[in-house]
Amino acid sequence: MLKYFETNSKSVDIEIERENETIAFIKSNYWPSHKLLFIEDIDTHSAHRRKGLGKLRMKEVISFLNSMGETPKKIIAEDVGYTGTLDGSEFFKALGFQPEEKSTNWKASIEDLKKSLGLNA
């Protein structure tokens, strides 16, 4: 089940629950004036990884913004989870993100991300 627990003009946070337990979530912020989407945190419980839940959450964020008439031009994803580990690189690479120099962030164009997610560009 998808549950939008906070939405406004600047943030889109989505969690996926199963049997009243959060198994995956994404926290993001969107700045309309800059057309910038910042993925602050994205994580999936270890027992539910490699099932497409991360990709699904990314699709939901982009689709939600599109439904509000917003299209980000730049997406930045932070690759430091709550444990401080850098373990999302393969996930971000698979979605077409490129590492930013001298940073733990990843960046992608909306066109590349939509193509990777199977959304109409």
Q: Quote the CA–CA distance of 15 and 118 in Å, as a whole number.
A: 21
pLDDT value at position 121?
54
- What would the pLDDT profile of 70-116 be if each residue is shown by its tens digit? 888 888 887 654 444 445 677 888 888 887 776 667 787 788 888 88
The structural architecture, per CATH, of the domain 2-117 is 3-Layer(aba) Sandwich (3.40)
Q: Is the dihedral of CA 35, 36, 41, 45 positive or negative?
A: positive
- Residue carrying structure tokens 């627990």: 5
Q: Where are the domains of the chain?
A: 2-117
